[in-house]
Amino acid sequence: MTEISIDPDYVKSLAVKVRAIMVEEANEMPDVGSNPTDDETPPNEFQDDEGDLRREEIVEEIQGLNEQEQAELVALLWLGRGDGEPAEWSDLVDQAKDRQEIPTADYLLDHPHVADHWLEALSQLGLGGLVDGVD
């Protein structure tokens, strides 16, 4: 079995939080084409809303993880989107540590399907993946 230090249940919980924001963001899409400013905003990126602190809370949660756990979140993203195989888990984690160029939370939250990729990766690693109400 693959060695993973981050609690799979924590990853599932984090995925639910991220999905909740993504769903809301999808419902708040600007009228694309209504003006040039709207056209420059990718539709699935997090929007900054000063009244909504959930994104900030997620960022703080990820920043509060140790280096290994943050690298594993990145490796789970990569594995879940098909950038590696379960047998390459250790290499993916090492690459995540070596390639960090921006804060991990920013990197992860720039990927609109990060929650789906995390859950897919957990499933590939034999650590579950589906969460009640999240499939």
- DSSP secondary-structure letter at 12? H
Residue 1 included in any domain: no
User: How much is the CA Rg of the chain, to the nearest whole Å?
Assistant: 16
pLDDT in tens, 59-92: 999 999 999 999 999 999 999 999 999 999 999 9
Residue 135 included in any domain: no
Statement: residue 118 has pLDDT above 90: yes
Residue 130 included in any domain: no
Residue 78, CA distances (Å) to 4, 73, 101, 106, 130 in order? 15, 9, 16, 15, 18
Residue 2: band (very low, low, confident or very high) from pLDDT cuts 50, 70, 90: confident
Q: What does the pLDDT average to over 104-123?
A: 94
Q: Is residue 133 classed as helix, strand or coil in its secondary structure?
A: coil
Q: Domain range for residue 115?
A: 8-124
Residue 15 included in any domain: yes
Give the residue, 44 or 23, on which the prediction is more confident: 23
Considering its fold, how many domains does the chain have in total?
1
pLDDT in tens, 92-111: 999 999 998 899 999 999 99
Residue 133 included in any domain: no
Residue 28 included in any domain: yes
Percent of the chain with pLDDT over 70: 71
Residue 2 included in any domain: no
Q: How many CB atoms lie within 10 A of CB 128?
A: 13
Residue 113: φ, ψ to 5°: -110, 25
Enter the pTM of the model: 0.76
Residue 41 included in any domain: yes
